[in-house]
């Protein structure tokens, strides 16, 4: 019984990992190699700011309770309750939008292309994509004390298409590893395309 449960849990976890590698618009033979988000440190700034806002509310409440207790009673007390509700609603909305921007800002690297999903606020999202065949140069860099300490930085991909120009991954974890993966996939992409072209040429020669 225990072995069956363990097997079921293992299969469930494997399935969940596979689902995480899927995305809308994914081609049938396209495999997700890397899914990267902005480093968690960037969202930590939102958490810190929200903590400061909550702390300010408690400080204000303590000062009013100490020196102006009448403002917490009667009509003014009701106004304070309404203000507190709206205040914490604002803090929760601020955190939610920050988390949404963090979680839905995704860079996807597949065996065929690079995809940049940029979430801006609640109702604005842009999606850019680049074929690996357009990649001309790639550069990873880490600048600053905290980025070096926490190992996050930028990866810039220069492209052959003038309409794209530069494809940038900003503030992502382990940028040098991402650079290496992109270079390997670009090389594999051209090898695969060459094999496909050779097969087409052989078929055409055979047919003629």
Query: Does the residue 124 lie in any domain?
Result: no
Over residues 100-126, mean pLDDT: 83
Q: In this structure, are 193 and 149 located in the same domain?
A: yes
In a domain, 156, yes or no: yes
Q: How many domains does the chain have?
A: 2
Is 159 domain-assigned?
Answer: yes
- Element (H or E) spanning 29, and its range? none
Selection from 152, 141, 138 nearest residue 186 by Cα: 138
- β strands within 10-112, DSSP E: 32-37, 106-110
At residue 159 the predicted structure's pLDDT band, cuts being 50, 70 and 90, is confident
Helix, strand, coil shares, percent, the chain, to 5: 60, 25, 15
Residue 169 placed within a domain: yes
Domain that holds residue 149: 132-203
Does residue 26 sit within a domain?
no
The model's pLDDT over 41-62, given as tens digits with 9 standing for 90+, comes to: 888 889 999 999 999 999 999 9
- Low-confidence winner among 15-19, 86-90, 117-121 (lowest mean pLDDT): 15-19
- Based on the domain organization, do 194 and 139 belong to the same domain? yes
pLDDT at 14 exceeding the cut of 50? no
Average pLDDT, the chain: 81
Core vs surface per residue 21-51: b (16+ CB within 10 A) or e = eeeeeeeeeeebbbebbbbeebbeebeeebe
Residues 92, 51 within the same domain:
yes
Report if residue 16 sits inside a domain: no
CA distance 79 to 160: 61
Q: Mean of the pLDDT values across residues 177-206?
A: 83
Q: pTM value?
A: 0.70
Let me know whether 136 and 186 are in one domain.
yes
Residue 10 belongs to some domain of the structure: no
Do 198 and 150 belong together in one domain?
A: yes
- Does any domain span residue 36? no
Question: Is the confidence at residue 88, as pLDDT, over 90?
Answer: yes
């Amino acid at each position: 019984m225990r072995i069956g449960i363990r097997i079921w849990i293992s299969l469930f976890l494997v399935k969940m990992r596979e689902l995480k590698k899927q995305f809308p618009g994914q081609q049938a033979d396209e495999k997700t190699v890397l899914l990267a988000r902005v480093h968690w440190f960037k969202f930590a700034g939102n958490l810190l700011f929200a903590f400061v806002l909550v702390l300010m509310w408690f400080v204000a409440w303590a000062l009013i309770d100490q020196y102006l207790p009448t403002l917490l009673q009667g009509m003014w007390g009701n106004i304070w309750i309404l203000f507190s509700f709206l205040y914490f609603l604002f803090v929760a909305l601020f955190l939610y939008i920050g988390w949404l921007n963090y979680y839905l800002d995704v860079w996807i690297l597949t065996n065929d292309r690079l995809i940049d999903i940029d979430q801006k606020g609640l109702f604005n999202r842009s999606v850019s994509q680049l074929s690996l065949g357009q990649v001309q140069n790639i550069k990873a860099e880490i600048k600053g004390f905290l980025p070096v300490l926490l190992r996050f930085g930028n990866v810039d991909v220069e492209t052959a298409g003038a309409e794209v120009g530069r494809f940038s991954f900003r503030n992502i974890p382990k940028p040098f590893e991402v650079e290496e993966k992109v270079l390997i996939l670009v090389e594999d992409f051209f090898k695969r395309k060459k094999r496909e072209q050779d097969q087409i040429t052989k078929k055409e020669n055979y047919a003629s």
